[in-house]
Amino acid sequence: MMVFLCVHLRSVMIKKNKLKLAFLCLFTFFAFRCAHQSSDAKQFEDIISKAVLETASDESNDSDFFESVDDLTILRSYQVQEQINWYLGYDYAGTVAAFERSQKYIPAIDNIFNKEKDIPFELIYLPLLESGFSPVAVSKSNAKGLWQFVSVTAEELDLMDDTYVDERNDIRKSTKAAVRHLKYLYSVFKNWEFALAAYNGGAGYVRSIISKNPGMNYWQLAEANKFKRETALYVPRFAALLIIQKHIKTTSIYSKLSDTKIDFMKVTIETPATVSGVSKSFGISEKKIREFNPQLKGNVIPPYYKTYSLLIPHSERIAMLK
């Protein structure tokens, strides 16, 4: 009921003065807390409320996407407010699960982003939106993995899909491919909002929307319903998740996350080899091998490589050597 009320208020807000925008955002969070009885700390609400009030007098949307997330000026967008409401309210359980999985897999890929100088580190959190940080996620369009590549894009990015592996599910290889793809999209659009929209809807699609509506930025195009709904909500959803991540200690999500940080190591084996054979030889359960190497389709490890690297938690490696 509260969501319908917020939607109604939003329609009243459009094109009104900035004070009404600030009031709407404050009311949205108040309604969210009442409706869902969230245990999220009041400090989080205060952070959002203060940011909205401080930025309500500035209509500019020209700042860098990641800077606007960092200083919270992106909260001028009611779409971002609505998505925060969604993730901390109606999709609370899914949000907790996604952040919990992120703690498991980010240590396996953070060094990939740390080595990249031309891409914002914050993009490491894009799988929160794409797959809920599940490397075995499959969409209705058969996009797979942390980064949700369809087969055509995967082929363009040299991710193999054959009898033995589907590298869209490979935690590290798919991440390296995603970094290359995101860098390419940014080189095309020179703007992270459009690059992210293209990651979702395709570069050709976004380019056509831009060409038909010259002079309009992403937020203006989304507000004018020029994008399909999923693409129009894609950037606000990612912004909302980044804000939650940056302030996660002020939410009840933080208390639900495990304290265990998983460190990973690569184990290189000679082929021919099988998952069951590796399990027996090294004392690592097949379940654990497959959990962190979900690209493996069957028992046989790709025989066309002389050696093959498997990703395993550091604790398993230590146990293996004892």
Amino acid making up residue 236: P
Thinking of the domain 264-321, which architecture would CATH place it in? Roll (3.10)
Q: In whole angstroms, give the CA distance from residue 104 to residue 288.
A: 13
85: closest CA among 11, 130, 128, 31? 31
Reply yes or no on whether the pLDDT at 119 is more than 50: yes
What pLDDT does 33 receive?
A: 46
Residue 34: band (very low, low, confident or very high) from pLDDT cuts 50, 70, 90:
very low
- The angle, 0 to 180 degrees and rounded to 10, between the axes of the packed helices 229-246 and 192-201 is 120
What's the mean per-residue pLDDT of the chain? Answer: 85
Which residue would you say has higher pLDDT here, 37 or 147?
Answer: 147
**Residue 205 in 3-state DSSP?**
helix
> What are the tokens at 75?
């909260």
Q: What is the pLDDT of residues 127-144, one digit of tens each?
A: 999 999 999 999 999 999
- Answer whether 68's CB lies under 8 Å from 242's CB: no
C-beta of residue 176 within 8 angstroms of C-beta of residue 112? yes
Distance, in Å, from the CA atom of 154 to the CA atom of 104, rounded to the nearest integer, reads 24
C-alpha to C-alpha distance for 168 and 155, rounded to whole angstroms: 10
- Residue 208 has a pLDDT of 98
Report the candidate in 96, 144, 114, 68 with the shortest Cα–Cα distance to residue 248: 96
Say which CATH class 99-256 falls into. Answer: mainly alpha
Ramachandran angles phi, psi of 145, nearest 5°:
85, 180
What number is the average pLDDT over the span 64-85?
A: 92
Average pLDDT over residues 138-166: 97
Integer Rg of the chain from CA: 22
Domain boundaries, the chain: 2-88, 99-256, 264-321
Query: Do 264-321 and 99-256 have the same topology in CATH?
Result: no
Q: How many CA atoms lie within 13 A of 299 on its CB side?
A: 5
Residue 234: count other Cβ atoms within 10 Å of its Cβ: 23
For 83-95, what is each residue's pLDDT tens digit? 998 999 899 999 9
pLDDT (0 to 100) of residue 67: 95
Confidence label for 296 from pLDDT (cuts 50, 70 and 90): very high
